[in-house]
């Protein structure tokens, strides 16, 4: 009879006591969604200014800024919605709220991108895409720059 990796891991599982859980939370504080939104806004502004400065074209700068806003505004709405979910009584309702706010974020992002040609005359799609993609990548940079786990939860 062969023991699977899952069975081996399950037998080594040790629940944390209150003190160990508190210490773990102190070593690995959660990443605030508002911090990510602020970083996104700053990076979006930087991309818009760089686009405008390099191209000397106001429409390109506005297009890049709009692309960044299509990430930042929905992300801010999502962060606000998530901050209200902390008070949820049940994990199921918190999870449902997460998915609802994620859908709202996606719908708002798509709506903003669809409205872009109507709101910005002579829209520069390449600049809009640059602002959008670079601002969106802040999520990955934020996760990458988080403090890494240096030690195991289970100390033998």
Dmax (CA) of the chain: 71
In 10 A of CB 50, how many CB atoms? 15
- Is residue 51 within 8 Å of residue 127, measured between CB atoms? yes
Mean pLDDT of 2-20: 67
At 22-76, the pLDDT tens digits run 887 777 777 788 888 999 999 999 999 999 999 999 999 999 999 999 999 999 9
Instruction: Output the pLDDT for position 32.
Output: 80
- Is residue 76 within 8 Å of residue 118, measured between CB atoms? no
Mean pLDDT of 133-151: 75
Instruction: Output the pLDDT for position 88.
Output: 65
- Is residue 97 within 8 Å of residue 83, measured between CB atoms? no
Instruction: Output the pLDDT for position 141.
Output: 82
- Residue 59 CA to residue 122 CA, distance in Å, equals 7
- For the cut 50, the answer to whether the pLDDT of residue 151 exceeds it is no
């Amino acid at each position: 009879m062969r023991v699977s990796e899952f069975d081996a891991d399950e037998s080594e599982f040790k629940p944390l006591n209150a003190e160990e859980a508190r210490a773990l939370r102190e070593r690995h504080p959660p990443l605030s969604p508002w911090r990510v939104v602020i970083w996104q806004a700053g990076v979006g502004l930087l991309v818009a200014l760089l686009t405008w400065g390099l191209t000397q074209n106001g429409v390109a700068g506005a297009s890049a800024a709009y692309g960044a806003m299509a990430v930042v505004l929905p992300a801010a709405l999502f962060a606000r919605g998530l901050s209200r979910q902390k008070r949820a009584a049940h994990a199921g309702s918190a999870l449902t709220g997460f998915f609802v706010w994620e859908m709202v974020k996606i719908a708002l992002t798509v709506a903003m991108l669809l409205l872009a040609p109507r709101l910005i005359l002579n829209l520069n799609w390449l600049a809009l895409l640059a602002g959008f993609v670079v601002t969106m990548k802040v999520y990955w940079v934020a996760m990458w720059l988080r403090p890494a786990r240096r030690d195991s939860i289970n100390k033998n």
